[in-house]
Amino acid sequence: MTRKTAPFRDEDLKFSLAELSDIRALHEFGCTIPELQVSTEGDFMSPDEVSQAIGNPDGIMYVAFIKHRIVGFCYANVADSDRTRDPKHACLVYLAVASELRGFGIAARLYDHVVDALREHGVERVHALAHPTSGIIEFLERRDFTKGHPLVWMDGEL
């Protein structure tokens, strides 16, 4: 199998923890990722939610940049109250890479940065919700995740 050539130089690809100065660019980037648009109303996250995620002391968010342009991000939360309060468990909330840059190892490197940080926090187990057609299921299965039961996002006005 021939591996496709990356449309960027590896030395131009940088990874760092998200900073508050990244809020607007992260929000705009997230709005371009079709798989993140699970709600029938509104964006995947509001800019305030992005800010809260970056500032969350129980969260870890890494960002991938190519020449100062955001091309991906990964966010995990140790304090996922919807699932567990066990500090050894975390939720992989988002793993997103620009559609045109998938298949070049960016997601794997983002994931590895976040997993390393989670391990430093004593996390031993991670769970995630996965979009069924984005490729994330296969990505996680290659990392020894197993499928649970299918879910459907539901929302509505009150």
Percent of the chain whose predicted confidence (pLDDT) is above 70: 92
pLDDT in tens, 63-115: 999 999 999 999 999 876 565 567 788 999 999 999 999 999 999 999 999 99
Higher pLDDT: 39 or 125? It is 125
**Considering the domain 10-141, what is its CATH architecture?**
3-Layer(aba) Sandwich (3.40)
More confident residue, 44 or 99: 99
Report whether pLDDT(30) > 90. yes
**pLDDT averaged over every residue in the chain:** 89
Query: pLDDT tens digit string along 123-133?
Result: 999 999 888 88
- pLDDT tens-digit readout, 135-158: 899 999 999 999 888 877 777 778
Residue 9: band (very low, low, confident or very high) from pLDDT cuts 50, 70, 90: very high
Q: What is the 3-state secondary structure (H, E, C) of the chain?
A: CCCCCCCCCHHHEEEEECCHHHHHHHHHHHCCCHHHCCCCCCCCCCHHHHHHHHHCCCEEEEEEEECCEEEEEEEEECCCCCCCCCCCEEEEEEEEECHHHCCCCHHHHHHHHHHHHHHHCCCCEEEECCCCCCCHHHHHHCCCCCCCCCCCCCCCCC
pLDDT at 36: 84
Q: What is the pTM of this model?
A: 0.89
| Mean pLDDT computed over 48-65 | 95
